[in-house]
Each structure stands twice: as C-alpha cells, then as structure tokens.
Amino acid sequence: KQFNLVIKNGIVVTSGDSGPLDIAIKEGKIAYLAADIDANLAEKVIDAEGGYVMPGGVDAHVHVAQDFPSGANGVSAQCADNFESGSRSAVCGGTTTFLSFAHQNRCDPSILEVVEAYDKLAKESGSYCDYGYHVIITQPDIEMLQRELPVLVKNWGITSCKLFMTYAALQLRDNELLDVMFEARKLAITTMIHAENGDIISWLTDKLQEKGMVEPRFHAQSRPPVVEMEATSRAIVLAEMIQNPVLFVHVGSASAAEVIRSTQTRGFPIYAETCPQYLHLTWEDLASKKFHSPQCFENAKLICSPPPGPDNTDQELLWTGLRNGTFTIYSSDHCAFRYHDVRGKALGIIQHKESIEGSTCPIDDDHVHEIMHGKTGNFKYIPNGCPGLETRLPLLFNYGLAQGRITAERFVELTSTAPAKLYGLYPKKGALMPGLSDADLVIWYPEGHIKPFSLTNDHLHHDADYSPYEGMEFKNWPRYTILRGKVVWAEGELLGSKTDGQYQKRKPSQLTMSAVKTARTDRRRVATWLYQ
C-alpha cells in the first residue's frame, strides 16, 4: 500500500491554519495532506470523527533522572521520574518530544562528562518518546566553556543552557552570567534563565525562620513577585549588553511578564515560558484551600519555584501573555518529587527534625508514611517542583482552548511549533510538512465524546504519588498519540514501548539569533564593541 497510516475526518490544526483535512503517513513521516484521502491506500486508518489533529506536544522543560542539592546538609533530592516513567507519562498526555536537563554540579569540572553520564541514564532506562538535553551550568570556568561548548553543539546538538540566579548551590553572580552569555553567543547557544534574586530569598527565608514561619505555605512569602521581577530586569540588562538571546523559563509573576513585555515592545527580542502551575495555582492553594489546614504539610505538594502568584489577578495577566505573544512557549517544568519519599518532599520534615535535634534522623522509607501525618516541616528543606508532563496539554486544552481563552492555532504554537523552533527541532518537530516533519501527532476526542471526569493520580502514568491538579474536571484528553507513525497511546491504552524514543540532535535556535542581529537597541545600554 501507498501509506502506512491515514487519519481521516479530523480538524487538522497547525500554528498557522486549521481545516478539515486527512493526513497520510509513510515511513514515520508526514507524507501528504488533502481534503479526502482514499482509505484504501493505507494499511491502517484512524477515524478522528471530527476531533482536533495536531502536531505532537514538544515539552521543552522537563526534569527526569536528576538529583538536586537540597537543604544545608548536602543531602540531595531525587526526581520521582526517570526517562522511562517520565516519557511514559508524556505520551499518555499527547507529548511526543521532551527536552530535559543534564545538570552540572559545582564539583563537576566537565560539562561534557555530565552529558555523557546523563545520556547513559537515558540509554539504560529507555524512553517512550523522543528526547533531547539542555545543560545546566553551575561552574562556568571560561577555559572549559571554550573547549567544551563547541563539542556540545557539534557532537550532541545541544544548543541551549540553563543558568540560575538563585539557590546557593547553583546561583551565578552577574559576572559569571556574563561569562556564559558571552561564550554562548559565539555559538548561537540559547541561554535559559531561572530569574529569582537568590540573595533576597535567603534574606527573607532567615527572617521567616526567626519568626517561626516555617510551614510549607510560607515558601511563597520568601519569594514575593518582586524577587522574580528584579532578577528578570537584571538578566535583561546583561543579555542586552552581550546581545545574547535569552529565554526566561517558568515565568510565574505578572510583574516579571510585564518587564518582559515592555522589553519586547522596545525592540530587544527576548523569549519567555510559562507553565501550568502559574495558570492554575495561587498562594491560597498553598495555604491549603486544597488540603486540610493551613498548617498541613501536604501543602508541600504544591511547592515550586518561582511560586505561583498571590491570586487570580496574576493568573489572568498570564493568560493574556499567552494570547498576546509575551510568552513564546508553554512547558510543564515537570519536576516531580514523591510526597512519601525520604528523597522527595519528606526531606522537609526529616531535615527540619535534624536541624532541631542536631543529629541524623534515622528515618527510612518504611517510617516516612507514619511521620508525615500530623507533622509539620520546614519549607526551606522541601525540594521545589511539581509533576506536570502528562497534564500539560490537557490543562491548556480544557481550560484554555475549550474555554475560548486561546485559539486552536495558538494552542499548537505554544505547545509544539514555537518550542520546536526555539530549540532547533523545526520542522522535523512542531510542524506537519510533507516529507520534512516526523509523523508525531496528538488526536483529541470530538466535543462531548467522553464523560467529564475528575482527575485522580491513578489516571496518570508518572512515578509521582500525587498531582497538583487532582480534583480538577476534564472534558477532553488526548485520544491518540502517534510517534513517528506508530500509535503509542489509544483511548486510554499505552501501546508504545520504552525502545520507541530517539535522541534528537538539535540545530541552533530558529528564533533567536536572527532576531538578535536585527534588534533595535539603545546604544547607551549595549557594549557594541564587544561583538564587532
């Protein structure tokens, strides 16, 4: 037969168009789009019954198989998910490619060795979907960068790095941020910035501790929105100085979004990402509207950094940013820690106890469930992050697209096309171009086809033991996920395997460099001689 698979009767949506089209797939690629493709030409046919058919999700911000330095005593927190479980939840939620982080610790002299070790983890566990890496740089030795960054780009196709402006173990000073931006610019590497002022956070955290305000809900008080706004403004000044393309990851505060917006309007191109937690959670949730009492340790489940905004006003402003282009991409920042786990959220109780009693607390996995009920902990020892890989697309579909907050085309742009362009995967990913694009698709149910349901963690396929979105109502969910022509998820059934996913070598960003070269910049803000 001429085609391996034909998808009929769908509303095909790309970032630019939508319409009633059939799609033919051959050898893992999009082969042909037309109003009516003969079903007899295909080995297999899927009837989309009028549902949306879109390019598979590209989640550009995921943490799997990563350790995080946590608390003061050097114990590290461990991600709930590895490549296998993370990618499994990805395909069950319509995502066909994710980018995760190879994390340099300060004691690691070589980022290449970090990437090699991380790749070994991926190969050992396998992946249900396609994947690639960013690198987190915490020890920016210039000679190392000059030696290794070109190899990273050439051999690994890694064209992006993440830098932190907070966390004692990760935080870079301004001169170090400049060092990396300067080297990154030479190779068209996109710099991803975690913008929070680490010094303000640790100062406020000490003040909260003095007053005994240590429960999980006070995490947000240690990081009021100005913390993010200041760091965002400062990083923009640095980026403009160097004329380096930056992307602000996980923007949570409306005031940071405003600074980003006004910089874009002024004509200096910067890019930003927001995530589901900032559209659906508020300080009120952290103060346990969801759980039993304001003192409840269970609020630790919602702790992430930056924290969600104070109330719905911020959320609405972020929705506006998704519509008007302030945000280029929408990613999960899936950074799952198990709640009942001595290397997960429970660290907030264990290390708190140790810090009071001054000795090592003999708590193991068997006892952790017991201690977590009725006990309080200290937010400063709780690892920061929430699960969200599988719920990313369904949340934006149900609460954005279905409620008329964004169009179907914008949905595709935010979740697939723009991340693919931003990180050099386009048009292999993020598009439906015959002959060029991988046949990665997500097909939704037609409206009203499934009974609305309330989300429980049992629905999900990650290894985390909770979701921040349990209890929310869903009227739609990915019906089919297709990875390079193979149906890997169909009507609630996982059909893929952990040998399906392939590593993706990436090109330089297809958004940032040309934009920076044509940037309108104020000469008073820029050291032009630097890059002549």
> Site size for ligand DUC, by CB under 6 A?
9
- Residue closer to ligand DUC by CB (options 165, 241) is 165
451 touches 324 (CB < 8 A)? no
How far apart, in Å, are the Cα atoms of 62 and each of 228, 320, 332, 348, 446?
Answer: 20, 24, 7, 23, 29
Query: Smallest gap, in angstroms, from Cβ of residue 63 to Zn ion?
Result: 5
CA–CA dist 498, 506 (Å, integer): 21
- Residue closer to ligand DUC by CB (options 14, 82) is 82
Give the per-residue contact string, 424-443, with Zn ion (x = CB under 5 A; - = no). Answer: --------------------
CA-derived radius of gyration, the chain: 23
- Residue closer to Zn ion by CB (options 123, 369) is 369
User: DSSP string covering 24-50, please?
Assistant: EEETTEEEEEES---GGGEEEEEE-TT
CA–CA dist 187, 201 (Å, integer): 33
Strands 57-62 and 95-103: parallel
Give the per-residue contact string, 383-422, with ligand DUC (x = CB under 6 A; - = no). Answer: -xx-------------------------------------
384 touches, from Zn ion, ligand DUC, none (C-beta below 5 to 8 Å by class): ligand DUC
Query: Smallest gap, in angstroms, from Cβ of residue 336 to ligand DUC?
Result: 10
**Contacts of 227 by beta carbon, 8 Å cutoff, 6+ apart:** 196, 197, 200, 201, 204, 306
Query: Smallest gap, in angstroms, from Cβ of residue 465 to Zn ion?
Result: 9
Assess 228 for contact with Zn ion (CB under 5 A). no
Closest of 460, 321, 287, 282 to residue 388, by C-alpha:
460
Assess 183 for contact with Zn ion (CB under 5 A). no
Give the per-residue contact string, 359-388, with ligand DUC (x = CB under 6 A; - = no). Answer: -------------------------xx---
> Using the rule CB under 6 A, which residue among 145, 220, 335, 346 binds ligand DUC?
335
- Residue closer to ligand DUC by CB (options 24, 163) is 163
Give the per-residue contact string, 246-285, with ligand DUC (x = CB under 6 A; - = no). Answer: ---xx-----------------------------------
Query: Smallest gap, in angstroms, from Cβ of residue 166 to ligand DUC?
Result: 7
Query: Smallest gap, in angstroms, from Cβ of residue 40 to ligand DUC?
Result: 49
39 touches 26 (CB < 8 A)? no
User: Hey, is 518 helix, strand or coil?
Assistant: coil
163 touches, from Zn ion, ligand DUC, none (C-beta below 5 to 8 Å by class): none
| Angle (nearest 5°) at CA 90 between 333 and 115 | 65
End-to-end C-alpha distance for the chain, whole angstroms: 57
CA–CA dist 184, 146 (Å, integer): 9
Give the per-residue contact string, 201-240, with ligand DUC (x = CB under 6 A; - = no). Answer: ----------------------------------------
What does the DSSP 8-state code read for residue 503?
B
Assess 369 for contact with Zn ion (CB under 5 A). yes
Assess 500 for contact with Zn ion (CB under 5 A). no
> Using the rule CB under 6 A, which residue among 95, 222, 288, 305 binds ligand DUC?
305
Residue 38 structure tokens:
């003969």
Question: In the range 326-365, which residues lie near Zn ion by CB under 5 A?
Answer: 333
250 touches 272 (CB < 8 A)? no
Query: Smallest gap, in angstroms, from Cβ of residue 386 to ligand DUC?
Result: 8
153 touches 506 (CB < 8 A)? no
Which residue bears the tokens 């009633």?
A: 20
Maximum CA pair distance of the chain? Answer: 73
Assess 194 for contact with Zn ion (CB under 5 A). yes
Residue 512 structure tokens:
């940032």
How crowded is residue 87: how many other Cβ atoms within 10 Å of its Cβ? 35
CA–CA dist 67, 179 (Å, integer): 25
> Using the rule CB under 6 A, which residue among 26, 194, 462, 479 binds ligand DUC?
194
Query: Smallest gap, in angstroms, from Cβ of residue 151 to ligand DUC?
Result: 25
Give the per-residue contact string, 28-67, with ligand DUC (x = CB under 6 A; - = no). Answer: -----------------------------------x----
CA neighbours closer than 13 Å in the CB half-sphere of residue 397: 26
369 touches, from Zn ion, ligand DUC, none (C-beta below 5 to 8 Å by class): Zn ion
- Residue closer to ligand DUC by CB (options 21, 80) is 80
Peptide bond into 427 cis (omega under 30): yes
> Using the rule CB under 6 A, which residue among 130, 183, 333, 463 binds ligand DUC?
333
421 touches, from ligand DUC, Zn ion, none (C-beta below 5 to 8 Å by class): none
Binding site for Zn ion (CB under 5 A): 194, 333, 369
Binding site for ligand DUC (CB under 6 A): 63, 194, 249-250, 305, 333, 335, 384-385
